[in-house]
Amino acid sequence: GAGVSQSPSNKVTEKGKDVELRCDPISGHTALYWYRQRLGQGLEFLIYFQGNSAPDKSGLPSDRFSAERTGESVSTLTIQRTQQEDSAVYLCASSLGWNTGELFFGEGSRLTVL
Amino acid sequence: QKEVEQNSGPLSVPEGAIASLNCTYSDRGSQSFFWYRQYSGKSPELIMSIYSNGDKEDGRFTAQLNKASQYVSLLIRDSQPSDSATYLCAFQRGRGADGLTFGKGTHLIIQP
């Protein structure tokens, strides 16, 4: 596909369970970002990958959150022992490089923790 | 301290009028500025980028940047109901997401 692809689009889980969210960036985009957006709120930066460089994890809210990316391909965001406050839309975006703020967003993964 | 301030609105504008959205930022090292549009239940999409002082026009949209006063604005001419959305401003210092900061957005409503 031509755009950023995220899965699942919706995930309902019970408190304490682990969840994994997937992002497939636009082909050729070396930079990949994860954001969190709670209902009615702005975008909260989580983590950023640029090529094979060490990721910028400065936005991860706790050690329950982790993300991986292999090369310039798919990324997974993992949330362990989910809490109700983790309920949000998790947005992935990619861009051509680290020095551009022109991001292309996926449709998001809506996470609901019961 | 990196901050961006936007009036959350809602900002109500009659159809056909000019909608004016404003954003101020505190990081004087910011170099690049962006306006994203987010429809309800959808993801943000880039509509304008501006890198130097002055105006940049693209169709019905004009972005204005004043680095000395640390503000960036977006004007939408001939507003249409389809322009109703939340508009997010964002700025970047120059390296990766660490410098890309989003405002909380202004909710714009175009009244038919």
B88 contacts in chain A (CB < 8 Å): 42-43
| Cα–Cα distance, B56 to A36 (Å, whole number) | 30
Q: Per residue in A83-112, pLDDT tens?
A: 999 999 999 999 987 667 789 999 999 999
One DSSP character per residue, chain A reads --S-EEE-SEEEE-TT--EEEEEEPPTT--EEEEEEE-TT---EEEEEEETTSPPB-TT--STTEEEEE-TTS-EEEEE-S--GGG-EEEEEEEESSTT----EE---EEEEE-
Contact A101 B91 (CB under 8 A): yes
Q: What is the pLDDT of residue B59?
A: 96
pLDDT tens by residue, chain B, 112 residues: 457 889 888 999 999 999 999 999 888 877 889 999 999 999 999 999 999 999 999 999 999 999 999 999 999 999 999 999 999 999 887 655 455 788 999 999 999 9
B44 contacts in chain A (CB < 8 Å): 43, 91, 103, 105
Residues of chain A above pLDDT 70, percent: 97
Q: What is the pLDDT of residue B98?
A: 55
Nearest CB to A108: which of B43, B92, B94?
Answer: B43
- The mean pLDDT values, 10 residues at a time, for chain A of 114 residues are 91 98 94 92 89 85 94 93 97 84 93 97
